Amino acid sequence: MIHIPKGTKDVLPSRSHLWQFIERTARETAELFAFKEIRTPVFEHTELFQRGVGDTTDIVTKEMYTFLDKGGRSVTLRPEGTAGVARSFIENGMAGGVLPAKLYYLISAFRYERPQAGRLREFHQFGVELYGAAGPQADAETILLADLFLRRLGLKQIKLELNSIGCRQCRTAYNEALRDYFRPHLEEMCADCRARFEKNPMRMLDCKEEGCRRITAGAPRILDYLCADCRAHFEEVRSLLDAAGVAYEVNPSIVRGLDYYSRTVFEFTTSAAGAQGTVCGGGRYDSLLEQMGERAVPAVGFAAGLERLLMVLEAEGVPMPEENRADCYLLGMDEVSRRQCFLLAASLRRAGIPCEVDLMDRSVKSQFKYADKTGARFVAVVGESELSAGAAEVKDMRTSSSERVAFEQLAQYIFAHKNKN
């Protein structure tokens, strides 16, 4: 027996409607803000992520599914969506098109992490990217989109944490301050942090090691090092969120696990789903496109993890849609009636009514049992007398009442009655 790879999950038919609910809500919310879907490949040239996501991140140094294809090229399964979308934006000349470009995606992504609840090796994201708008209103609108998405799902116990990590200019001064602070503690810090010290000391603030966290708790805060422009930008994002009634907390320790961010960064977190509490993360990344060899195009976006959202929805007990069910089960009592049911089913489906017929040669009794188990609202019984009357005996499984309905009226009848109690 071959088992499913570690860190991956099947979505079984009994749960796929929950996924569809989240995906539908994502699409509808993105479209409320006039974002359009973009689809990019599952794998890209490895270099895209090394340059895009950043070669000091855990994702690039430890977690990528990288392999040589049969032509000897190094390719990588996407660990996230932003780099691929940025590549596509550049490659398809979207910077010369209508701006802002407002794009969304629903994707699977791959990271070789230690699997646990809410942390998988293949996981799914709903993400949005907005290109071309540099002002704080674009940041605020992106955050509003994420907020509305979470609200439309029905989540209540979600907290928005906000920070600004400034621009390259503020970060030069800040990185020096961080190095001065960390230098006397380096011996006590983990090997990763010692490696980050020279290359990217801000990444040390994201370390999960207990010993390191104690030290980083006293580190200087980026908000004290913002230049005037970055400070004004952050103030305006905050004031727009205040005006829109979106509650947030400024958390200076949010630095994000990817290198491309500048200015606004944010995370939506919850304590309802155990250790993996970040359901959504994003921010502004004005220098990514330039780093990828293109002219600078301001950008902001986020991605939400669908597995984590589902965990939180269930932990919070949020009401979700029920499983999809057929409206009608067509039950033939004998050979000839079964044939009639087969034809009736075909015409109901053409009319847009989900229905089922027996494909297992079951007895009348076990057909009833099956129909009951699948939760079909109506069972249309056809036997000898119904055949000669040209009408089915339609049982409403919810009320247990029955009615004779002419074959050609069946679709209309079901349409008219299916939403009644």
Q: Three-state SS across 303-326?
A: EEEHHHHHHHHHHCCCCCCCCCCC
Rounded-to-integer distance, Cα 134 and Cα 132, Å: 6
- Is 216 an interacting residue with respect to ligand HAM (CB under 6 A)? no
Instruction: Single out the residue of 175, 278, 287, 340 in contact with ligand HAM (rule: CB under 6 A).
Output: 278
Q: How far is the CB of 255 from ligand HAM (least distance, A)?
A: 11
Stretch that binds ligand HAM, among 100-108, 152-160, 234-242, 276-284 (CB under 6 A): 276-284
By Cβ distance, which residue is nearest to ligand HAM?
A: 305
Half-sphere exposure of residue 80: CA atoms within 13 angstroms, side-chain side: 29
Beta carbons of 129 and 85 less than 8 angstroms apart? yes
Instruction: Single out the residue of 44, 129, 147, 192 in contact with ligand HAM (rule: CB under 6 A).
Output: 129
Task: Report how many helices (DSSP H) and strands (DSSP E) the chain contains, helices first.
Answer: 15, 16
Interface pattern 64-103 for ligand HAM (x via CB under 6 A): ----------------xxx---------------------
Instruction: Single out the residue of 27, 119, 151, 325 in contact with ligand HAM (rule: CB under 6 A).
Output: 119
Instruction: Single out the residue of 25, 40, 76, 125 in contact with ligand HAM (rule: CB under 6 A).
Output: 125
**Interface of this chain with ligand HAM, residues 285 to 344, rule: CB under 6 A:** 285, 301-305, 307-308
Q: How far is the CB of 99 from ligand HAM (least distance, A)?
A: 17
Rounded-to-integer distance, Cα 86 and Cα 180, Å: 35
- Is 54 an interacting residue with respect to ligand HAM (CB under 6 A)? no
- Is 113 an interacting residue with respect to ligand HAM (CB under 6 A)? yes
- Report how far apart, in Å, the C-alpha atoms of 42 and of each of 46, 48, 73, 79, 305 are: 12, 13, 15, 9, 17
Select from 201, 205, 190, 207 the least CA-distant residue to 254: 205
Q: How far is the CB of 305 from ligand HAM (least distance, A)?
A: 2
- Is 127 an interacting residue with respect to ligand HAM (CB under 6 A)? yes
Give the DSSP letter string of 350-380.
Answer: HTT--EEE-SS---HHHHHHHHHHHT-SEEE
Which residue is listed with tokens 């994502």?
26
Rounded-to-integer distance, Cα 414 and Cα 382, Å: 16
Q: Which is nearer to ligand HAM, 220 or 277 (CB)?
A: 277
Instruction: Single out the residue of 281, 328, 344, 379 in contact with ligand HAM (rule: CB under 6 A).
Output: 281
Rounded-to-integer distance, Cα 118 and Cα 274, Å: 8
Q: How far is the CB of 141 from ligand HAM (least distance, A)?
A: 14
Residues 6+ apart with CB under 8 A from 319: 154
- Is 282 an interacting residue with respect to ligand HAM (CB under 6 A)? yes
Residues that bind ligand HAM (CB under 6 A): 80-82, 111, 113, 118-120, 123, 125, 127, 129, 257-258, 278-283, 285, 301-305, 307-308
